[in-house]
Amino acid sequence: MNEKTSLHEESRPKRDTSGSLDLAPTHITFTQSFSYATKYANEKNWIGIYSSGSTGPDNETYTEDSLSWEYAPGEKGTVQLSTANLPPGQYKAYFLANEGYKWLARPVVFKVANPWGSISIRDDDPLLTFNYSTPLPDPQNWIGIYNSFGGGPESQKFISGSLTWAYAPDKNGTVKVDASALQPGLGYRAFFLAKGGYKWLASPIDIVKPGKGPLTFIVDQLTTHNARAGEPFKATLSGMLENPRDPDSKFAKGKYSATDTSTHDWVNISADGIISGTPPKASGNTTTKFVVEALGSDGSTAEITVTIPVVPQGEPLVKKLTILSFNLWFGGTPVKDYHSKQVRFITNARADIVGLQESTGGHAIRLAKAMGWDYWQGDDVGIISRYPMVEQYAPIERCGAVRIALDRGQEINFWNCHLGYTPYGPYDFCFDHLSPEEVLKNEIKSRRTPQIINIMKYMQDHLSQSSKTPVIFTGDFNAPSHLDWTNATKKLHCGQGYFPWPTSKHPIDAGLIDSFREVHSDPLAQPGLTWSPIYLDNGGRAEPKDRIDFIYHKGLKTHSSEAVVVGQPKAQPDHYHNEWPSDHAAVKTVFKVAKSSSAGRGNSRVLWGVVSAIIAATAACASWIVCACVGKRKSDKNFNEKGRRDSDSGDSSA
């Protein structure tokens, strides 16, 4: 950034704080007044507010944008700064010279209280009933419910649509919010917002939708990640409960039958659902099987059978790796009990790592916490893994990537994308009857082509090292593959023969392998369709069927690959009660993992004890990954925010 200076500033001794900056009486809601004085008057002098937890311009240099600011041009005067966007807390105000960062006075620390209204939940009502108050009533004021893990207007700006909402128009009142779409036992955050927008009228509150019981586990049986003989092990299953009335359920080892011969004495279960212990050194290539019992605060109980695979000392922890590419379909919200259905599917698929699309609003975090896994959450895409993420790469458009440690000396680079959805190529051919040249132009217009070119550019370094660190690339590419659109399959594709879809050509030309087509080489015999198990009709026309979800790799051996759904999904609009919670089929690929020269050797007891503890901790405490951007030194006070309150309806091909 080029910092502006002036004659006034250049002639002023460094850090001349002979001026003054003081709090002034404030009588207007959402403002803080400051009185100031300086002998270096300048029309571009300004007062900026920063969080007291940040450094601000403490060293008289730019470090970050101010939260609110106004010019203070005279030798003395009073200015009012907006605090409407500032949550209650402690802040620091700086009086600065000529649009720069040289101090004109010592900064002052002040607090922003909550001058707004209030919002609280009524404990005596089984539904979500809120009491609220505000000095600023409006017919468009509203209360919106979001996942506690993200997606809400934490910065008083639109991030994603609310899960459910209701108007709260009066100065004081009570409002019931429809909770039918919320999942029992999960955490949510309620926001009281102004005039159909996202400005807070009160500090948000965290809530849990109580389950109606009886207490159950989402699955009857659970297989954890692998343990190694003689090394500490840790996992968590507290998030696997269904219908808890509150977060106070307790866990313990259950009773065993006389025929149970598995060795489980080394396993401990904490009251909050943490499984821990060290398998005996002599064990290996065995399974430890035991029962865990949960006791709800209402006295109801539930049991789950847990299996821990144990590998011998000196052997790789992971020999096979199961990967899913899974489009959640607006997080799963169009389907009843989507949370339990998603967790049940991922668990029963014995997945190790899942690339998620349409996870906006913290859905990757929600699933990872339920399963005790590690996670990365992007704007749309997310990644969850039962093994730890040791590096998170800077996200690029429609894509994110992490490095995952499977074992000591065993790592992979994992990429996941969700490319643009419109215009949609099969519609161009089948409905609009465009020429191949026109369709290729539309692939550029949809941004899929520039997106995949950019992704492959950033992936090049990883691909060049794939013999040491394999690469996996999952995603909803929103376009078919040139390996499927061949002259032999033209009858499946509206008469169009071979077509060089850029979104498959670029990955394969870069050296990636399509895992499904690697196993099933004949696209006519095994089309592997993922779009769509529920969208069958499109305005009286048959919906084009295609494989648009993929798992690519380089540096691994593919054991099996398939497109999967659960049950027999009913077609839209009768999808609400489907066991399958998506409008896409998922892709499941099992890879064989080559043995690393250092896997299972050395001081892995310490390493993997720490790793297990970190993963277990993520299930109890979510931590956000913040992507920093360099911006203007002062926030744009004229920014006009636009957004939608309701969940986006989207296009069915997304």
What is the rounded CA–CA span in Å between residue 326 and residue 569?
16
What is the rounded CA–CA span in Å between residue 475 and residue 356?
8
pLDDT computed for residue 14 by the predictor: 56
What is the rounded CA–CA span in Å between residue 371 and residue 328?
16
Q: What are phi and psi of 558, to 5 degrees?
A: -85, 125
What is the rounded CA–CA span in Å between residue 606 and residue 200?
46
pLDDT computed for residue 359 by the predictor: 95
Q: Does 642 have pLDDT greater than 80?
A: no
**Cα dist from 548 to 43, 289, 402, 419, 654, whole Å:** 58, 39, 23, 10, 10
- Each residue of 587-613: pLDDT tens digit? 999 999 987 655 554 444 344 444 444
Q: Which residues contact 259 (CB under 8 A, 6 or more apart)?
A: none
pLDDT, the chain, mean: 86
DSSP-based three-state secondary structure for 445: helix
Q: Would you state the torsion angle of the CA atoms of residues 649, 650, 653, 654, taken in this order, to the nearest 10 degrees?
A: -120
Average pLDDT over residues 58-66: 90
- Each residue of 259-280: pLDDT tens digit? 455 678 899 999 999 999 999 9
pTM for the model stands at 0.76
533-557 burial, b for 16+ CB within 10 Å, e for fewer? Answer: bbbeeeeeeebbbbbbbbbbbbbbe
Q: Does 284 have pLDDT greater than 90?
A: no
Does the domain spanning 320-592 belong to CATH 3.60.10.10? yes
Identify the band that residue 257 occupies on the pLDDT scale cut at 50, 70 and 90. Answer: very low
DSSP-based three-state secondary structure for 301: strand
More confident residue, 210 or 323: 323
Among 31-35, 544-548, 648-652, which stretch is predicted with the lowest mean pLDDT? 648-652
pLDDT computed for residue 596 by the predictor: 66
Per CATH, which fold does 216-311 belong to? Immunoglobulin-like (2.60.40)
Average pLDDT over residues 55-78: 92
Task: Specify whether the CB–CB gap between 240 and 343 falls below 8 A.
Answer: yes
What is the rounded CA–CA span in Å between residue 236 and residue 615?
9
> What are the E-state strand segments in 18-88?
20-24, 31-37, 46-51, 68-71, 76-82
Helix (H) or strand (E) holding 276: strand 274-277
DSSP strand pairing (128-133 vs 118-121): antiparallel
Strand partners for 145: 164, 190
- Each residue of 142-196: pLDDT tens digit? 999 998 888 899 878 898 889 999 999 999 999 999 988 888 888 899 999 999 9
Task: Specify whether the CB–CB gap between 49 and 91 falls below 8 A.
Answer: yes
Task: Specify whether the CB–CB gap between 225 and 386 falls below 8 A.
Answer: yes
- Domain positions in the chain: 20-112, 118-209, 216-311, 320-592
Task: Specify whether the CB–CB gap between 310 and 284 falls below 8 A.
Answer: yes
DSSP 183: P
Q: Which two tokens stand for residue 548?
A: 């648009």
Q: Is 198 exposed, middle or buried (0-12, 13-18, 19+ CB in 10 A)?
A: buried
Q: CA 53, 56, 59: angle at the middle one, nearest 5?
A: 125
pLDDT computed for residue 180 by the predictor: 83
Q: What is the Rg, in whole angstroms, of the alpha carbon atoms belonging to the chain?
A: 28
Instruction: Please give, one letter per residue, the 3-state secondary structure of 319-387.
Output: CEEEEEEEECCHHHCCCCCHHHHHHHHHHHCCCCEEEEECCCCCHHHHHHHHHCCEEEECCCCEEEECC
Q: Which two tokens stand for residue 341?
A: 């259905």
Q: Does 24 have pLDDT greater than 80?
A: yes
More confident residue, 406 or 299: 406
Cis peptide before 423 (omega within 30 of 0): yes
Average pLDDT over residues 468-496: 97
pLDDT computed for residue 428 by the predictor: 97
DSSP strand pairing (205-208 vs 374-377): unpaired
- Each residue of 230-240: pLDDT tens digit? 999 999 999 99
What is the rounded CA–CA span in Å between residue 391 and residue 388?
9
**Cα dist from 237 to 270, 271, 343, 619, whole Å:** 11, 11, 12, 9
Identify the band that residue 27 occupies on the pLDDT scale cut at 50, 70 and 90. Answer: low
pLDDT computed for residue 367 by the predictor: 96
Q: Which two tokens stand for residue 397?
A: 């458009």
* CATH code for residues 20-112: 2.60.40
What is the rounded CA–CA span in Å between residue 468 and residue 651?
40
Q: Does 465 have pLDDT greater than 90?
A: yes
Average pLDDT over residues 60-83: 92
pLDDT computed for residue 649 by the predictor: 34
Q: Does 258 have pLDDT greater than 70?
A: no
Average pLDDT over residues 192-201: 92
> Domain 118-209 is in which class?
mainly beta
Task: Specify whether the CB–CB gap between 591 and 320 falls below 8 A.
Answer: yes
Q: What are phi and psi of 24, to 5 degrees?
A: -120, 155
- Are the folds of 216-311 and 320-592 the same? no
Task: Specify whether the CB–CB gap between 189 and 119 falls below 8 A.
Answer: no
Measured over the CA atoms of residue 371, residue 377, residue 381 and residue 387, the dihedral's sign is negative
Q: Does 6 have pLDDT greater than 60?
A: no
pLDDT computed for residue 530 by the predictor: 98
What is the rounded CA–CA span in Å between residue 297 and residue 212?
12
DSSP 579: S
What is the rounded CA–CA span in Å between residue 326 and residue 416?
10
Identify the band that residue 627 occupies on the pLDDT scale cut at 50, 70 and 90. Answer: very low
pLDDT computed for residue 624 by the predictor: 31
pLDDT computed for residue 625 by the predictor: 30
DSSP strand pairing (389-392 vs 410-418): unpaired
Identify the band that residue 120 occupies on the pLDDT scale cut at 50, 70 and 90. Answer: confident
Q: Does 643 have pLDDT greater than 60?
A: no
What is the rounded CA–CA span in Å between residue 394 and residue 384?
17
- Own/partner pairs, 163-170, CB within 8 angstroms, 24+ separation: 163/188, 163/333, 163/361, 163/647, 165/645, 165/646, 166/142, 167/139, 167/140, 167/141, 167/142, 168/130, 168/132, 168/134, 168/141, 168/142, 168/143, 168/192, 169/137, 169/138, 169/139, 169/140, 169/141, 170/137
pLDDT computed for residue 15 by the predictor: 60
Average pLDDT over residues 404-421: 96
DSSP-based three-state secondary structure for 607: helix
Identify the band that residue 214 occupies on the pLDDT scale cut at 50, 70 and 90. Answer: confident
Identify the band that residue 83 occupies on the pLDDT scale cut at 50, 70 and 90. Answer: confident
What is the rounded CA–CA span in Å between residue 499 and residue 135?
62
More confident residue, 558 or 395: 558
